[in-house]
């Protein structure tokens, strides 16, 4: 077990006032640079001395990365916008309330005042073996300590494991996926790339050392919410050990439009069950065109957990995920919560 020293290693601190200046530092230091947003995840890594960057790039002084703006009938949220600003913004509340719910569930009010939406979607895995400095696959080793007979793996993956069984910890991620959000990335060298929220997150089969498409030198600058799902019927639920600030054991987000009692369109995503937040495309396909009722919810929920492979201590996630998907489709009023 790594020794927790609670003293940060030495590094150069840069506090640029423009994206161009930040990009110049990132280009200069490459993999040796560390991007600091709200700092809540970063300071844990630095104080425990697990990460030792040459340079830390503090984005707090870059005004263009902050705030929420109207764009093409939707909204554009700067990556350095705090979760508190997201929760309080009238445009988010009126058109994209699911993001408000997810951001509010992410942390206590004090933490939301500091945490940014860019940091929330870009934070690293919370697996305690990895965070404590054990030489696991994700840290460059050749074993997953959470996937051994004696491991403590109550919070780990039941789907999509590929060597690493750590899960994605972001609360806003599934909401952004169902809203079909677009992530704006400044790439190394100054170019711009726009990817869907669904494709922003990667699993260990693509790159076991990263949880997002951000490569050394890249910077998430904004998140765009298109008008496609504005004002839809939303559902968000996060199950955690404590009904205060805590990471999700399982969470679900859905956006739906209906015609009478028939589901016309639906997007649904879950988190806390895999290395990346999962869009449940098969569930969407089976639900669209069906009535929004218990029968549809049961079929969809059973389909959602097909292929689940629980570990020694997290089999509870299978029925938990099944029930959350049922509730996201039928609505909590349509049947008993405990069914």
Reported as a single tens digit per residue, the pLDDT across 239-262 is 999 877 789 999 999 999 999 999
Q: Is the domain covering 11-61 a CATH 3.30.43.10 domain?
A: yes
Q: Are strands 219-225 and 262-271 parallel, antiparallel or unpaired?
A: unpaired
- Domain residue extents for the chain: 11-61, 230-331
5 falls in which pLDDT band (50, 70, 90)? low
339 falls in which pLDDT band (50, 70, 90)? very low
pLDDT of residue 288: 98
Q: Greater confidence, 264 or 216?
A: 264
Q: Kindly state which CATH superfamily the domain 230-331 is placed in.
A: CO dehydrogenase flavoprotein, C-terminal domain (3.30.390.50)
Helix, strand, coil tally for the chain in percent (to 5): 35, 20, 45
Contact 25, 33 (CB under 8 A): yes
Q: At what angle do helices 294-304 and 317-330 cross, to 10 degrees?
A: 140
Can you tell me the mean pLDDT for 7-29? 93
Closest of 79, 53, 12, 115 to residue 219, by C-alpha: 79
* DSSP count for the chain of H helices, then E strands: 13, 12
Average of per-residue pLDDT values in the chain: 93
pTM over 0.85: yes
């Amino acid at each position: 077990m790594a020794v927790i020293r609670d003293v940060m290693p030495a590094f150069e601190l840069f506090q640029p006032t423009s994206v161009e200046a930040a990009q110049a530092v990132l280009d200069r230091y490459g993999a040796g640079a560390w991007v600091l947003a709200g700092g809540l995840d970063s300071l844990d890594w630095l104080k425990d001395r697990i990460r030792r960057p040459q340079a830390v790039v503090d984005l707090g002084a870059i005004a263009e990365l902050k705030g929420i703006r109207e764009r093409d009938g939707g909204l554009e949220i700067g990556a350095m916008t705090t979760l508190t600003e997201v929760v309080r913004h009238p445009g988010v509340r009126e058109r994209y309330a699911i993001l408000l719910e997810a951001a509010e569930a992410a942390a206590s009010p004090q933490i939301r005042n500091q945490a940014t939406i860019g940091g929330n979607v870009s934070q690293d895995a919370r697996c305690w073996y990895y965070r404590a400095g054990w030489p696991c696959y994700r840290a460059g080793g050749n074993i997953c300590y959470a996937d051994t007979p004696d491991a403590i793996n109550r919070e780990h993956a039941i789907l999509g494991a590929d060597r690493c069984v750590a899960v994605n910890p972001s609360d806003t991620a599934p909401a952004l996926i169902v809203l079909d959000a677009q992530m704006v990335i400044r790439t190394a060298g100054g170019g711009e790339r726009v990817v869907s929220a669904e494709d922003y997150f990667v699993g260990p089969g693509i790159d076991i050392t990263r949880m997002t498409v951000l490569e050394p030198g890249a910077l998430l600058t904004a998140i765009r919410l298109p008008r496609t799902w504005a004002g839809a019927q939303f559902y968000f639920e996060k199950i955690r050990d404590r009904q205060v600030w805590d990471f999700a054991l399982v969470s679900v987000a859905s956006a739906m439009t209906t015609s009478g009692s028939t589901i016309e369109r639906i997007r649904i995503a879950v988190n806390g069950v895999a290395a990346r937040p999962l869009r449940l495309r098969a569930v969407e396909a089976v639900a669209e065109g069906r009535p929004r009722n218990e029968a549809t919810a049961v079929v969809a929920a059973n389909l959602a957990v097909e292929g689940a492979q629980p570990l020694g201590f997290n089999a509870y996630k299978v029925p938990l995920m099944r029930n959350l998907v049922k509730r996201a489709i039928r609505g909590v009023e349509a049947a008993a919560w405990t069914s």
